[in-house]
Amino acid sequence: MTKHERPAGGAPVSKDSARIRVNGLGKHYGTLEVFRNVSFDVGEREIVAIVGPSGCGKTTLLRCIDGLLPVDEGEIWFDQQRVTSPLPGVAMVFQHFGLFPWKTVYDNVAYGLRMAGAPQAEIDKRVPEFVKLVGLAGFEKAYPYQISGGMQQRCGLARALAVEPSVLLMDEPFAAVDAQTREILQFELLRIWEQRPTAMIFVTHSIEEAVLLGHRVIVLKGRPSGIYETIKIELPHPRTRATLREPRFAELRERVWGTLMAEAQKAEFELEKP
């Protein structure tokens, strides 16, 4: 959308630090209503984790925020721009990695920059930098099938980071890798975020992951789903492995767990009704 097409009145006034503003969002596929009246903000240097049961529409919500899917109600604002299609400054990391199998690690990382029209000199400078940042130095010439799932997702992360986005959208990025790799990648992501803080929306079905990474955790629930609760995660930064051992971490995890499970039990009871 160009500036001329923006509706009169411009972006709604909100906290000046908000990078992403989601306002009364609703989405349905045909007669199936996925979510309704979803509203939240994401600050410039804030990680918002979204958890919810399978099929609650959290991935759909993220795709709407990226501009990949149209919304039926409400609006999404990225700074002063209304999101109706993918915008520069927002980058997504996919659950399925989304690497191009015929491109090497180097060319996959360069892809986003090339699509953004970056000059070759800049690509040559930035790609090695980001390959190194995610710990893939030495694997530039490898093809995705030659490296492990964890390394593939490092590559996916580097591709998103290389365009230096101010918003990172993470769609269950570590769901497809094994447990140990997942833990390593979580701390890698925290390390990278401390170096280059951005706004981040992190969709996951792991409560622990949500509490470890998020400054706030949004719990989606119901059919159609909506925001059931937003839980502020007051854990110190930088978060490290030591964070996992803090009593406060366990409390918050239990709190999110309780919120989610109350919903899950209710849903099961509803299913059992004739």
Partner 1 sequence: MLRNTLSRRLPFFASLFAGMALWEIVGRNSSPAFMVPLSETLARFWQLVDNGQFPAQFLDSATLFLTGLGLAIVVGMPLGMLLARIPAVRLALDPYIMTLYATPMVALIPFILSIMGFGFAPKVLVVFLFAVFPVLYNTVEGARSIKPELIEVARSFRSSEWSLWREVMVPYTLPFCMTGVRQAIGRGLVGMVAAEFFLSSTGLGQLIMSSSQNFDTSGVFAMILMIGLIGVGLMRIGSMIENHFARWRV
Residue numbers at the binding site for partner 1 (CB under 8 A): 66, 68, 86-88, 91-92, 94, 96, 98, 100-103, 111-112, 114-116, 143-145, 163
* Nearest-approach distance from CB 3 to partner 1, in angstroms: 17
| Residue whose CB is less far from partner 1, 163 or 185 | 163
For residue 89, report the phi and psi dihedrals to the nearest 5 degrees: 100, -10
Please report how close the Cβ of residue 111 comes to partner 1 at its closest, in angstroms. 6
Which CB sits closer to partner 1, 27 or 239?
Answer: 27
Burial profile 102-119: b = 16 or more Cβ within 10 angstroms, e = fewer: ebbbbbbbbbbbeeeebe
- We find the least distance from the C-beta atom of residue 246 to partner 1, in angstroms, to be 36
- Quick count: other Cβ atoms within 10 Å of Cβ 269? 9
Of 40, 96, 99, 34, residue with least CA distance to 70? 34
Complex with partner 1: residue 66 or 208, whichever CB lies closer: 66
Phi-psi region of 25 (alpha: psi -120 to 50; beta: other; left: phi over 0): beta
For partner 1, the closer of residues 102 and 269 by Cβ is 102
Least distance CB 165 / partner 1 (angstroms): 10
Closer to partner 1 at the Cβ: 136 or 169? 169
Contact 50, 58 (CB under 8 A): yes
| CB 68 to partner 1: min, Å | 6
CB neighbour list of residue 190: distance below 8 Å, 6 or more residues apart:
212, 213, 238, 239, 240
